[in-house]
Amino acid sequence: MNILVTGAAGFIGSHLCEKLLENDEHHVIGVDGFLGPTPAPLKANNIAHLQSHPRFTFLELDLLTADLPSLLQNVEAVYHLAGMPGVRTSWGTEFAAYAAHNISATQRLLEACKDRPLKRFIYTSTSSVYGERSGPLSETLEPTPLSPYGITKLTGEHLCRVYFREFAVPIVILRYFTVYGPRQRPDMSFHRFIRQLLAGQPLIVFGDGTQSRDFTYISDCVDGTIAAIERDDVIGETINIGGKERASVNEVIRLLEKLTGKHANTQYTPAARGEPKQTWADLTKAERLLGYKPVVTLEDGLQKEIEYIRSLYEGEHS
């Protein structure tokens, strides 16, 4: 199968490309515009090992200006991961970039796909669309995002649904819950905490640290994402992709202390705007439709991310 992956040089996108290429039947076209908070050299490093792969083609493109009909020639499935990430930076003047790259680019890609015989168009969304809720979050809940970022991702979902209804674009929407692991973006909490801890710097926590998240290890996330292209009866569906364990930020810090053998000097700052107090994925639908069952424990996943951060910043915290 010829598969287009947008956002291919990002954290999740690079892991997804790797996993797709394990199947000898797949040819992957990776596209990335090198947007967002991750430095371009870090993104380039994410896919450096794939550049020589005989079934992988990489193109640096902006989806807002690219010749999408040409890009989509012979493509049978699309994974749309590209976009502007991050809740905290989506306020104020930055919103224009979020609207352009999360809404306009998605509409442009859907428009280019609407007359093509695609087998699947998989759109990656976020638990941020749910807003402030207690208990397990089911896909049947009405989304009430708390941030401009969440609103742009929900708008992308709505665009997918109208192109599904009007043009039969075979969409699947996946809502990711706080994905972590090697190659995680530098602005994300685990990456920041581990780097600060190893360097003997204060850990900066937004809020009081009691906020909890459903943490999803990258390999579990990718397994669920790939199942969405292989499984029948998922077209038109919205499905949560969550983790094996939930934990509070303070619990994560204690676990990081244990795994690194270092004491955390934690500094608490005002809570970030637009962040819910807790997330918790109801995975009933994912298990039924995708056979999805996360297996990586938080401790094992954090250990792997620590090893990655150590190698990434080797010499910085010796």
Give me the CATH number covering residue 69: 3.40.50.720
Q: Is the pTM of this model over 0.85?
A: yes
List active site positions. 149
Give me the mean pLDDT over the 210-228 stretch: 97
Q: Are residues 87 and 198 in the same domain?
A: no
Range of the domain at 196: 189-213+244-275+295-312
What domain count does the chain have?
A: 2
Give me the mean pLDDT over the 143-170 stretch: 98
Q: Are residues 209 and 248 in the same domain?
A: yes
* 3-state SS string for the chain: CEEEEECCCCHHHHHHHHHHCCCCCCEEEEEECCCCCCCHHHHHHHHHHHCCCCCEEEEECCCCCCCHHHHCCCCCEEEECCCCCCCCCCCHHHHHHHHHHHHHHHHHHHHHHCCCCCCEEEEEEEHHHCCCCCCCECCCCCCCCCCHHHHHHHHHHHHHHHHHHHHCCCEEEEEECCEECCCCCCCCHHHHHHHHHHCCCCEEEECCCCCEEEEEEHHHHHHHHHHHHHCCCCCCCEEEECCCEEEEHHHHHHHHHHHHCCCCCEEEECCCCCCCCECCECCHHHHHHHCCCCCCCHHHHHHHHHHHHHHHCCCCCC
Dump pLDDT digits (tens) for 253-289.
999 999 999 999 999 999 999 999 999 999 999 999 9
Q: Are residues 22 and 146 in the same domain?
A: yes
